[in-house]
Structure formats: structure tokens, C-alpha cells
Amino acid sequence: MLIFLIACGSEPDSSESSDATDSTPDLCDVKSSGNLSFPADDGPHAGSPEERWSWAGRVKDGGDHAYRLSLEFFSANGRTGAVATLLSEEDLARASQVEDEGSVASTGGFVLEAGEVSALGGEGRDVLSAQVDTWSWELVVAERKQVIIHQETAKWTGYSRPRMSAHGQILGATGARLEVEGELWFEHVWGGGSGPEQRVQLSLEDGRDFRVLSDGGQTLVQGQGADCADLDPGEATWVADLSWGSPQTGCTWPVAGTVEVGTEAWGLAPLLQDQEILGVGEARWWGAMAVSGSGPGTAFLRASGGCP
């Protein structure tokens, strides 16, 4: 657990190289974030009926093999659980680990633990660890852009840290230890409510990031440029145009669609149709997406409230 010790402030031996995230420059001059206060708002919010911390993104090893990783801690009705997934882009093999019993604590930020999954962090620097089927991974992720304060419907309050740098290791089924690096999108929301909802996270290779929330017929789109300045999405839209029915739960999930911003449009299609998530809280679909259209990028779609 070398990564864990470094992130918690233990002093590494002087002969060892420093943690890679320490030498990764920020993409922007990160500043304070509106009405939220960090690290307090990184931690749990007393009295909130639901709360979740989630990370999703793409990492590559030295051989240019790419993986989509996701991790979510979900707390509701006094119960906390976690789910972690790993999807290999090479063969589209997907593994997941669901932990139904966990704990949430605050030490100025958050300490999240559930079985073989854990997350420790605050103020834009987190340590993530998961055992996922025959795989395991440990990552240090670090903020590089401004926090996006969410425009939410009445259900939720929250924020995102897009494009966090990720460095660490994946231990494969054969025992091979792979050094990986990439970017993850972190989202933290608290509140809760019922009804269909879709959240899209789209990071483009030109440095722009877009967040789309479709909730009860209302669509809210926020954007951030490569220089961290807020973008005005204008007449932006999200249209879900393909659904998938789960034979396991009977839920129907939107699994593809189009994001339009001005004259640009990006089509999102699932790398796999079955990326349904079960465990603590309601069933949801949280999937890695292929991006086409007005420029390459990385995207995830999270859909909930789609069960009969």
C-alpha cells in the first residue's frame, strides 16, 4: 500500500522516487469554489437522505492498453455500499465488485470503506483502492481544474472535479503489475429524490469538459474550457435515442444519445450494453461510452429511476 502511505503524509525513503502526481502540473490555477467549503463539503452531510461519491475515467498502461474504471460509494437510509468496475478496451471484458456493507467517516474530507473497496481524500487529492473480481487497483488522483458547482434540480446539491490526474497500479489476473496513468471525473452529490434521471460526463481531447443533467424533462448543461473558464453552453441539448432492457431487473435504461452544444454534436454509444449496477440503493446503469462526432473524448453515462 505504498500509494496509501504517501498520500496520508508518510515520508517515503529518500532513495525512492516521489509520487507522480506531485510532479504533474495543474492545468489551471485552481481557486476557491463558490458557496461550498472544502474540505468540509468533501465529507458526508448529516441529514441527507442520499449521498454518493463517484469516480469514473480512463487509464492506460505502458503498452497502450486502456481501461475504463469506475468507483461509487452510495449512502442511503443509514446504509453505505460501494461498487467498483473495470472494463478493458482491448477485449471489452468487464468485471465488477459490489459491497453492500460499508462505512463513511469524516476527517475534514472523507474516509469511505466497504469490503475490498476504499476511498480516502479531500481538497482534490484522493486515494482509491479496489479488488474487482480477479483484478485489483490502487490510484492516487489529484485535482487539475476548477471545481464545477452543479446546477441541480430541487433534488440535489453537489459539485464535480473533472479531469483529475490518476496515477497508480492495476494488478491483473495473471499477477502482472501494470503502472497506469490517465484521468478520472469525480462527482459528489447529496440530497435525493425519485424519478428518471440521466447524468453525462464528457471530457474532450481539446480540453473542454461538459456535464449534462436530464431530470424530469429538464436538461441542465454546464461546461468548462481547457483554461478552466466556465463555458456558456447556450441552447445545449441531450437526447437519449437508444434504450436497453435488463433481463435481470426488468429496468429499461437509456444507453445512447447525442449531446449538442451550439453547432457541435457528439454521439455517445455504450462500449457494452449491460453496464447495469446493483447493490445498495436503487439499480442504475453507469456505463463507459464511445464518443463520435465533433471531436474525440471520453464519456460516461449514469441513468437511474428506470425501473418499473
% pLDDT > 70, the chain: 91
241-257 mean pLDDT: 95
Q: What is the pLDDT of residues 9-48, one digit of tens each?
A: 333 333 333 343 444 558 887 776 678 899 999 999 998 9
Burial class (CB in 10 A: 0-12, 13-18, 19+), 217: exposed
Give the mean pLDDT of the chain. 88
What pLDDT shows up at residue 175? 80
What pLDDT shows up at residue 23? 45
What pLDDT shows up at residue 195? 82
Give me the torsion for CA of 173, 176, 180, 185, rounded to 10°: 10
What pLDDT shows up at residue 293? 96
- Using CA of residue 186, residue 79, residue 87, residue 1, what is the dihedral sign? positive
Residue 281 DSSP SS3: coil
Q: Which three cell numbers stand for residue 25?
A: 502540473
195-219 mean pLDDT: 92
Selection from 112, 43, 127 nearest residue 81 by Cα: 112
Q: Which three cell numbers stand for residue 93?
A: 471484458
- How far CA 80 is from CA of 43, 51, 165, in Å, comes to 14, 9, 27
What pLDDT shows up at residue 21? 41
What pLDDT shows up at residue 139? 98
pTM score of the predicted model: 0.91
Task: Tell which phi-psi region holds residue 78, choosing left (phi > 0), alpha (psi between -120 and 50) or beta.
Answer: left
End-to-end CA distance of the chain: 43
How would residue 307 be classed by pLDDT, with cut points 50, 70 and 90? confident
% pLDDT > 90, the chain: 73
> Greater confidence, 111 or 218?
111
Residue carrying the nine cell digits 490502487: 138
What pLDDT shows up at residue 156? 87
Q: Is the pLDDT of residue 2 over 60?
A: no
- For each of the domains in the chain, give its residue range(s) and CATH number, in order of start: 49-304 (2.40.370.10)
How would residue 59 be classed by pLDDT, with cut points 50, 70 and 90? very high
185-213 mean pLDDT: 93
What pLDDT shows up at residue 77? 84
